[in-house]
Structure 1
Amino acid sequence: MEELQCGMSPIVGFRFTLNPMTDDFVAVIKGALEEVDTSAVWMHTDDVSTVIRGKQVHVFNVAKALALHAAKTGVHVALNGTFSAGCPGDTAGDAYLDKPDEPLNNDKTKQYVSSQFALYPMNNPDYMSVIYREVERAKERGVFNESMHYSSGIHGDIHDVFDFYEETFTHARSEEHRHLVMTVSMSINSPSHGGK
């Protein structure tokens, strides 16, 4: 079997954990999964996390929809995950690349999100300029919160935040450097948000 090189597959993946801060966390998670249309992505859940894979537009759409539906319960929700593209050997789920580009989840409910992200442009010797450029993009989009060790703070309405993350995920990759990893941590409905 021929060895796959980074960037040969257009699949984008997101491995995440959704943590509702409530004793009834199972109902919150299952409720979100029932409300969200996940038919455009390959999805698998194990005893630690869930992974969704497919076209970038659908991976980000499903990720946002799951976070939003869990948040609509009003409980404090944390979401932690890793987006990846161009990963060697990433072929399972290729059938989902035939899906139309139209997003399937279109809930426009406003929801404040506080989050942090870190970019890892793999094999790119100029990775710091990529990171600085995307932090500037966050400032231009009005979602930048603060600089911090090992990540950057991003906050605002969930739709603006996810739009920024998807745009950054696109622009931080190039034909020469296709393998990209981006970690995201979110806090929604936290008491520390002061009713935002």
Structure 2
Amino acid sequence: MDQVCGTSKIAGCSFSIHPMSDEFAGIILEILKKVDTSKVWLDTDDVTTTVRGRVEHIFDVTKAILLHVSKTNVHAAFHATYSIGCPGDSAGDTYMAESLHRRNEDASRSITQPLAAKFSLYPMGGGSYMDTIYKQIEAMKSKGIQVTPAHYSTRLDGDTHTVFEGLENVFRETEASGSSHTVMTVSVSVNSPSSKESIL
């Protein structure tokens, strides 16, 4: 219990993805073959998959997995918890020495996919973060993302690449503002038959 947060630059994400199909297991296994995970530590169990390493590679891998699933045109849900500064993280089994180059960006950039997402941000351990969060939300709006307040979260509607760029920026900037342990939860829906546009 003597661990303190804020000393580690290891980022991580524990996520699950749920294709709404009887073939969900095959879809997930096929997607994992297409996504390059060589720059992250990865572990999968019967509940979630966890990736750990540099911030850019955590977002690169999780975005690529979501985009490749979306190409199947199957309605899918993605739930993720991103974290940096966790007191339980150690550098022994991570990939912090990897270069900044994102291995999946070239392949995934050509995939166009609108999504609906809700995210919540939890800065812990100090920091002046509210102005940072508001600034990043305004930046998302300026890039064409529709931002809507929601109970316990903020809703984002837009292109997957643009939304993930915004999520990564708000995650990074909150940590840089002085939050020694930052947690961000994200829920995403793609290819939904009951999209927001059809409800309105």
TM-score by length of 1: 0.91
After the TM superposition, list the runs of 4 or more consecutive aligned residues in structure 1 that deviate by more than 6 angstroms. Answer: none
**How far apart, in 2, do the equivalents of 1:137 and 1:149 lie?**
21
Aligned-pair identity in percent equals 43
- Return the offset for 1:21: 0.3
> How many corresponding residue pairs?
194
User: Relative to structure 2, which stretch is displaced further, 40-49 or 132-141?
Assistant: 132-141
Is the 2:77–2:189 Cα contact (8 Å) retained in structure 1? yes
CA shift at 1:125, angstroms? 6.8
User: What does residue 67 of structure 2 align with?
Assistant: 68
Separation in structure 1 between the aligned mates of residue 144 and residue 171 of structure 2, nearest angstrom = 17
Residue of structure 2 in register with 1:156 after alignment = 158
**Cα gap change, 1:42/1:110 in structure 2, threshold over 3 Å: closer, same or farther?**
same
Pairing of 1:163-178 with structure 2 (within 5 A): 163-174=165-176, 176-178=178-180
- Give, in angstroms, the shift of residue 172 of structure 1: 1.0
**Pair 1:83-2:85 in alignment:** no
3-state DSSP of counterpart to 2:176 = coil
Alignment deviations for residues 86-134 of structure 1 (CA, whole Å, 9 cap, x no partner): 0002015544111111000022211111101011111237554444333
**Structure 1: any 5+ residue segments left out of the alignment?**
none
Alpha-carbon offset, residue 9 of structure 1? 1.1
Look up the match of 1:48.
47
Q: Find the aligned partners of 2:138 and 2:27 in 1 and give their Cα distance.
A: 35
Amino acid of the structure 2 residue aligned with 1:177: S
The alpha-carbon distance between structure 1 residues 130 and 124, as it changes in their structure 2 partners (threshold 3 A), is farther
CA contact (8 A) 1:120 1:127 kept: no
C-alpha separation between the residues in 1 aligned to 2:94 and 2:11? 13
Give ranges in structure 2 of 5+ residues lacking alignment: none
2:12/2:82 contact within 8 Å kept: yes
The RMSD of aligned alpha carbons is: 2.0
TM-score by length of 2: 0.89
